[in-house]
Structure 1
Amino acid sequence: MFPEPLTLTQCRTRLGVACYTPRQIRTAYGLTGKRVGHLTGKDVTVVTGIGVIPKTIQHDLDVFSDRFGLPRTKLELAYENGASPSSPQDASNYREAILDVSAIHAMAPRARIVVVAAPTIPNQHAGDLPPAYLDALERYDGDVLSMSWNNFEELLSQQDPALRQGSVALERLREPLVRASEQGVTIMGSSGDWGGLAPSVGALWPTADPVVTSVGGTVLDLDADGHRLRPDTGWNASSGGLSSWFARPAYQDPVSRLVGTRRGEPDISMMARSFWVHDSAGPQPPGWQLVGGTSLSAPLMAGIVALAVEAAGHRLGNINETLYRLGERPGGGIVDVTTGQSSRDAHVGAHAAPTVPEPPGWHGYTAHAGYDLVTGLGTVDGERLIPSLAAAGRGKEDRHEMQEDAVPDDAATSAGK
């Protein structure tokens, strides 16, 4: 813990890592240019949460905002039955909650942020989607859902063998996500921090679900103004893989040579290291701490989507089809990440990966030109991607309105009975 955030130079000399302010991060992701610099996430609602809500979360976000010149925002807190403000024993989870809201706020400083406390997440390790998320999305009219929790398909299948491709149990498990997506909510999920998992592990739930945008992790090398000194590289603890539960969705047809017949993750990647948060929840003295992981990547991407929702003027729903189409188009807002490797020995996950057979000499996946299982399609140029997402969303909205207008009056009357 530090009494004040260190500068970039101090981080490099004292800690041996780079650390960045929200201003540097926003510059790096192209959020300060003429096309999108006016966007703030105003009138957009992002729902997030890791399971607990520290009593100090509003104070910590206020300190974060004041220190980095961001407008203060009032958090909305939603408690599932049985949940309550956290105690110091919840340390591994309350810092995640502080990270989630700080990352979203850094990217979309005027977005409305709803934090969900759902004790089933830390207890069951993402064995199901807590109803509190859907309740919060409906109650607060949520536009984006950011989830920084997950578990292995393999482990969940061991716990419940009924969970297999196309099973009734699997459809029941994913139904809340599908329903939220059908209502136009864009769903972000962290791809995991277990490094290069063996292929037999499969992928992670819920991020491997086709209605979720799986966000992996990258490492940035920026100067003091937020400009890149070199291209981003894949973070060695970022996880990815091929799902054993889900077949390849149609939007991944362009990358079928790599994923084969399975759903591959991640889809996209964002910064995963050295983000400052203010933490006064205890048990340690209040101060500033560097945190990261794909638990940072997902809410950063959720903030990007919030800006695109603001630009479009309505919800965007599942953006994966658009992302994969833009991945084939130079200048569409997707920046390929061609270096880095997910190491099998680099995991920083909260619980152990399942023990499964590994291929001889297995070390992890390698980033390369085009789609890969470390960084997905690559990372984000917000100045180009946000208008592209907004334009694609407007097209969806226009087609939906045309379909409604095309229904004859008598058919509409019958449907309403």
Structure 2
Amino acid sequence: MRSRRSVVSGLVLALAAFALAVPPATANPVAGATVSHDTCGEAPAGHMRCFSTWTPGESMQEFGASAVKRPKGISAADIRSAYKLPASGDKGKGMTVAVVDAYTNPHAEKNLKVYRKVMGLKPCTTKNHCFRTVNGSGGTKMPEADASWGVEINLDVQAVSAACPNCNILLVAAKSSDEKHLGQAVRTAARLGADVISNSYGRDENGSMGKLGRTYFEHPGIPMVVSTGDAGFRAASFPAVLGTSIAVGGTTLKHTAAGKWRERAWENSGSGCSAWIAKPAWQKDKHCGMRTTADLSALADNFAVYDTFGLGEENGWLTVGGTSLSAPLVAGMIALAGHPEKVTPASVTRNHALLRDITSGPANGDCGDDYLCQAATGYDAPTGWGSPRGLKVFS
């Protein structure tokens, strides 16, 4: 009989060669639909896909064009409460969080205006120099608009707003979802002075990613925060699997009867044992001889997002989930703490006692209840060392 370690290792190698088929995104869903929609769908070879799903909430017709009521889903105030973030003051002021996405959403700024108004946050606009959008090279000519990636764009900028209301937001819109176009957009974000860069996309790792990582995704002194994916335990996702990336898995949040928050592993949180990237010196888990993801985690479920571009009669408030949410939340928290240049995957690991250990939740795959696919005391791959409990882990 093979040992658990042998079983897990064999499964990891099998998963590394496996590509999960994902249903295509629904850009214009049938009116009244209540099912969740995969935002970006399956990506062709050489491209990345975003890691989110959305469910229709209150449409503009139901909610009113002014959209001033509080929508369904987790709010900005809920994020501050659940993660013990400061509710007032000037923390984060002067910090810039860059979100890198493919294509563009021409309504992103006006949707952000509505989101922040409803959530009780100060305006963040081009006019007050809080919000800025550039293309993948840093110019002002925007790429093609895309309703699917448009949901992702709104999710990213609104999640950063929830975590760090005082932060400046730099949206860098890559020409397409091609890995090199997204990589160039990351380099542009670094060149334009981003303090933290959030990346809510990825693809299965392979042998060519080392050069891509070194060329585009490694910027010392700028935390590279990356979603681990939404397909559970499988081949590790690039660029989250890079040793220089802060790989963020997903959780769910629920209010308890006592009015506190209960946080558990999210069932689709991406985790993986790399077949290509060597194990960093700071990572000590036993059943994966190479780089393991994730490093830490945050909410990946039921977040309120306002979107009025390309969704037909479903334009309005959505509830959105996926590790595409957890990455910009963590990026915002890193900026909020005020010392992003000191935050690395190694520093998060070193200070893991300052995180909230996530010890329960459904498995995200079949690995014999091993920590690689099951939340457990201490380190586990779906949630890493846990979720932020205040800002000290990033300070």
TM over 0.5: yes
1:211 paired residue number: 244
1:291 paired residue number: 320
2:189 paired residue number: 136
1:113 paired residue number: 169
239, 243, 248: which one aligns with 2:270? 239
**Unmatched segments (≥5 aa) in structure 1:** 12-18, 158-162, 164-168, 345-357, 391-417
Q: State whether residues 341 and 364 of structure 1, in contact with CA within 8 Å, keep that contact through their aligned partners in structure 2.
A: no
1:365 paired residue number: 373
Deviations 1:337-372 (A, max 9, x none): 11123434xxxxxxxxxxxxx879999811111101
Deviation at 1:388, TM superposition (A): 4.4
Percent identity between matched residues is 30
Deviation at 1:243, TM superposition (A): 1.1
Q: State whether residues 341 and 374 of structure 1, in contact with CA within 8 Å, keep that contact through their aligned partners in structure 2.
A: no
Deviation at 1:196, TM superposition (A): 2.7
Q: State whether residues 200 and 226 of structure 2, in contact with CA within 8 Å, keep that contact through their aligned partners in structure 1.
A: yes
Distance 2:257 2:318 in 1: 19
Is 1:84 aligned with 2:105? no
80, 96, 100: which one aligns with 1:45? 96
Which of 1 and 2 has greater Rg?
1
Deviations 1:99-131 (A, max 9, x none): 0000001111111111111124x2x3x367521
Q: State the one-letter code of the partner of 1:321.
A: A
Q: State the one-letter code of the partner of 1:366.
A: Q
After superposition, the Cα gap between the structure-2 partners of 1:6 and 1:20, relative to the gap in structure 1 and judged at 3 Å, is farther
Distance 2:109 2:330 in 1: 22
Number of positions where the alignment pairs a residue of Structure 1 with one of Structure 2: 325
Q: TM-score, normalised by structure 1?
A: 0.71
Residue correspondence of structure 1 range 150-189 to structure 2 within 5 A? 150-153=202-205, 156-157=206-207, 163=208, 170-178=210-218, 180=219, 182=220, 184-189=221-226
2:294 paired residue number: 266
1:335 paired residue number: 356
Distance 2:241 2:181 in 1: 14
**Unmatched segments (≥5 aa) in structure 2:** 1-56, 126-130
After superposition, the Cα gap between the structure-2 partners of 1:225 and 1:212, relative to the gap in structure 1 and judged at 3 Å, is farther
Q: State whether residues 300 and 326 of structure 2, in contact with CA within 8 Å, keep that contact through their aligned partners in structure 1.
A: yes
Q: State whether residues 69 and 118 of structure 2, in contact with CA within 8 Å, keep that contact through their aligned partners in structure 1.
A: no
Distance 2:160 2:292 in 1: 25
Distance 1:306 1:300 in 2: 10
Q: State whether residues 143 and 175 of structure 2, in contact with CA within 8 Å, keep that contact through their aligned partners in structure 1.
A: no
Distance 2:151 2:275 in 1: 31
Distance 2:345 2:372 in 1: 25
After superposition, the Cα gap between the structure-2 partners of 1:335 and 1:118, relative to the gap in structure 1 and judged at 3 Å, is same
Deviation at 1:325, TM superposition (A): 1.5
1:396 paired residue number: none
2:120 paired residue number: 69
Q: State the one-letter code of the partner of 1:21.
A: S
Deviation at 1:251, TM superposition (A): 1.5
Deviations 1:57-107 (A, max 9, x none): 0000000001110011122111126973543xx222110000000000111
1:192 paired residue number: 229
Q: State whether residues 174 and 182 of structure 2, in contact with CA within 8 Å, keep that contact through their aligned partners in structure 1.
A: no
Distance 1:339 1:361 in 2: 12
Deviation at 1:225, TM superposition (A): 10
Greater displacement, 70-79 / 219-228: 219-228
Q: State whether residues 277 and 288 of structure 1, in contact with CA within 8 Å, keep that contact through their aligned partners in structure 2.
A: yes
Q: State the one-letter code of the partner of 1:190.
A: S
After superposition, the Cα gap between the structure-2 partners of 1:79 and 1:222, relative to the gap in structure 1 and judged at 3 Å, is same
Give the helix-richer structure, 1 or 2. 1
Distance 2:259 2:116 in 1: 18
Give the strand-richer structure, 1 or 2. 2
Deviations 1:140-197 (A, max 9, x none): x1100000010001xx44xxxxx3xxxxx7235423322x1x2x10110000001232
Q: State whether residues 100 and 197 of structure 2, in contact with CA within 8 Å, keep that contact through their aligned partners in structure 1.
A: no
What value does the CA root-mean-square deviation take over the aligned residues?
Answer: 2.9
Q: State the one-letter code of the partner of 1:27.
A: S
